[in-house]
Amino acid sequence: MPRKKKFKALSGMRDIMPDEQPFWKKVEMVCEAMAFFYDFKKITTPIIEEEDLFVKGTGATTDIVEKQMYSFKTKGGEKVVLRPEFTPSLVRVYIEKGLEGQPKPVKVWTLGPLFRYERPQKGRYRQFHQFDFEIFGDKSPASDALMIQLFANLLENLGLKNWEIEVNSIGCKECRSGYKRKLKSFLKANQRKLCADCKKRLQKNPLRVLDCKEEKCQRVKKLAPKITEYLCEECQKHYEKLIGYLKEMNLPFVENPYLVRGLDYYTRTVFEFVPAEKKEKRQTALIGGGRYDYLVEELGGKATPAVGGAGGIERIIEEMKEKKVNLVKIQISEDKFLEKPKVFLLHLGDLAKRKCFSLIEEFKKAKIKVRQNVAKDRLKAQLKWASRLNADYTLILGEKEAKEGTIILRDMKTGIQKIIPLKKVVSEVKKIMKKR
Ligand code: HAM
């Protein structure tokens, strides 16, 4: 009798067995709680998309598009792919489903499987999962900071503490082209020392060489010109403000002038969350993201600045296992937040805005949902947002209050307001919440 074939999962594809399921559940639960606290709406997109969406979106010269897409022709002759990332899909939805017409910023998130035909190894699979958060319609660095704060919170709530955020600015179209020329001539002079792939990259997309993990290319990279020295005034200001916000939030970050990331759409901010003790190793970023101010327009929408990021769930779960995270202790879920009556946090001026980030963090720790719109600076725009939300109370942090360490609490129905010390604001709001 012929021996029957024993089937195996395809290379780079994993079965998620019962003992791992509780980890998946916790990751999903914490994502949902973060989405709830920071006001992101969930969208689920199809796994198969038109190939062109990623060729134009992710970028024709990226490794993902050049080497890693699962692409095929359908019986009807359409060229389709199993999605390799979420960002172009969410941009497509943003344009196609009329989200462009909604008040800005529009904040969306998603979670699910993705496919990249990579060489499988620990932390790198052909089918893997991400959670992904995106903010459309705000060009200010406040949204970049909020995005980073959300991810930091997410990891902390999953019991992961020992990580570092690498940040950089890769400028806009204008300042980057000057830098690219400088980089190209430096790399040409050092061509002999580069790997075969980078010799090709050097011609088509020199920035990609900075992203190569080959040791010899890493050595060349260490001497390469730094993009941060070529930023135009606007990009420089944007970057400095972001760094100011990150400092205010006390987040563990380092500036890495060579961080470029392997996707073509980024402008200005790029960031990665890396486990502190694995910084030098390959394939270790838990979360990666950045700003992409041209992509919506390039995919056929109105010019819309945007920023976002995504985390690799398999890598995060591996990290949780290594660190022996106690799953029982992860208790954060959206229904644990106090949210009624509705409180809106309003800021006026630079100092107040910076302080706003630590306040948001304090409210989150106290599990109180406080709404805000750090994307807007003008009082009128923020008040409009507060009234659209039907806020019962507003907390007003002006320049004067921020300097004095106070804040105004205003009852929106009676118009009565009182000044309270900033240190006591969380407990005051908690009292109001509990009274109702
Ligand atoms: P990415 O850096 O390609 O960015 O992926 C984000 C995260 O997904 C990585 O940091 C890693 O944890 C995980 N990941 C990527 N590839 C694999 C793999 N083959 N196996 C396991 N995990 C993997 C993006 O995908 C962008 N769309 C992020 C973004 C959103 N930027 C702006 N908005």
- Tens digit of each residue's pLDDT (9 = 90 or more) over 253-279: 999 999 999 899 999 999 999 998 876
Asked if pLDDT for residue 227 goes beyond 90, the answer is: yes
| C-alpha 416 to ligand 1 mean position (Å) | 48
Query: Does the beta carbon of 312 sit less than 6 angstroms from any atom of ligand 1?
Result: yes
Q: How confident is the model at residue 144 (pLDDT cuts 50, 70, 90)?
A: very high
Least confident of 188-192, 234-238, 241-245, 430-434: 430-434
Query: Does the beta carbon of 308 sit less than 6 angstroms from any atom of ligand 1?
Result: yes
What is the C-alpha separation between 342 and 94, in angstroms, rounded?
Answer: 27
SS (H, E, C) the chain: CCCCCCCCCCCCCCCCCHHHHHHHHHHHHHHHHHHHHHCCEECCCCCEEEHHHHHHHCCCCCHHHHHHCEEEECCCCCEEEECCCCHHHHHHHHHHCCHHHCCCCEEEEEEEEEECCCCCECCECCEEEEEEEEEECCCCHHHHHHHHHHHHHHHHHCCCCCEEEEEEECCCHHHHHHHHHHHHHHHHHCHHHCCHHHHHHHHHCHHHHHHCCCHHHHHHHCCCCCHHHHCCHHHHHHHHHHHHHHHHCCCCEEECCCCCCCCCCCCCEEEEEEEHHHCCCCCCCCEEEEECCCHHHHCCCCCCCEEEEEEEHHHHHHHHHHCCCCHHHCCCCHHHCEEEEEEEEEECCHHHHHHHHHHHHHHHHCCEEEEECCCCCCHHHHHHHHHHCCCCEEEEECHHHHHHCEEEEEECCCCCEEEEEHHHHHHHHHHHHHHC
Ligand 1 atom index nearest CA of 287: 10
Ranges of each domain in the chain: 21-172+232-327, 177-220, 335-435
Phi, psi (5° rounding) for residue 385?
-65, -45
| C-alpha 129 to ligand 1 mean position (Å) | 9
Asked if pLDDT for residue 205 goes beyond 90, the answer is: no
Asked if pLDDT for residue 282 goes beyond 80, the answer is: no
Least confident of 14-18, 272-276, 338-342: 338-342
Q: How confident is the model at residue 42 (pLDDT cuts 50, 70, 90)?
A: very high
- Alpha carbons within 13 angstroms on the beta-carbon side of residue 394 total 24
- Tens digit of each residue's pLDDT (9 = 90 or more) over 345-369: 999 999 999 999 999 999 999 999 9
Query: Does the beta carbon of 141 sit less than 6 angstroms from any atom of ligand 1?
Result: no
Residue of 53, 107, 130 to test ligand 1 pocket, by largest number of atoms within 8 Å of CB: 130
Ligand 1 atom index nearest CA of 132: 30
Query: Does the beta carbon of 265 sit less than 6 angstroms from any atom of ligand 1?
Result: no
Q: Give the mean model confidence (pLDDT) for residues 51-60.
A: 96
Kindly list the distances between the CA atom of residue 237 and the CA atoms of 140, 231, 242, 290, in Å, as whole numbers in the listed order. Answer: 10, 9, 9, 16
Contact yes or no for 162/170 (Cβ under 8 A): no
Q: How confident is the model at residue 20 (pLDDT cuts 50, 70, 90)?
A: very high
What is the C-alpha separation between 133 and 306, in angstroms, rounded?
Answer: 11
Asked if pLDDT for residue 175 goes beyond 80, the answer is: yes
| C-alpha 126 to ligand 1 mean position (Å) | 12
Instruction: Specify the CATH number for 335-435; select among 3.50.50.60, 3.40.50.800, 3.30.450.20, 3.40.50.300.
Output: 3.40.50.800
Q: How confident is the model at residue 68 (pLDDT cuts 50, 70, 90)?
A: very high
Average pLDDT, the chain: 94
Ligand 1 atom index nearest CA of 286: 12
- Tens digit of each residue's pLDDT (9 = 90 or more) over 87-115: 999 999 999 999 999 999 999 999 999 99
What is the C-alpha separation between 171 and 222, in angstroms, rounded?
Answer: 20
pTM tops 0.85? yes
Q: How confident is the model at residue 434 (pLDDT cuts 50, 70, 90)?
A: confident
| C-alpha 424 to ligand 1 mean position (Å) | 40
User: Is the domain 21-172+232-327 a CATH 1.10.10.10 member?
Assistant: no
As beta bridge partners, residue 81 has: 49, 71
Q: Give the mean model confidence (pLDDT) for residues 40-45.
A: 98
pLDDT given for residue 28 in this prediction? 98
| C-alpha 218 to ligand 1 mean position (Å) | 21
Q: Give the mean model confidence (pLDDT) for residues 148-157.
A: 98
What is the C-alpha separation between 282 and 174, in angstroms, rounded?
Answer: 31
Q: How confident is the model at residue 436 (pLDDT cuts 50, 70, 90)?
A: low
| C-alpha 149 to ligand 1 mean position (Å) | 18
Q: Give the mean model confidence (pLDDT) for residues 276-285.
A: 73
Kindly list the distances between the CA atom of residue 368 and the CA atoms of 36, 152, 296, 337, 359, in Å, as whole numbers in the listed order. Answer: 11, 18, 34, 5, 11
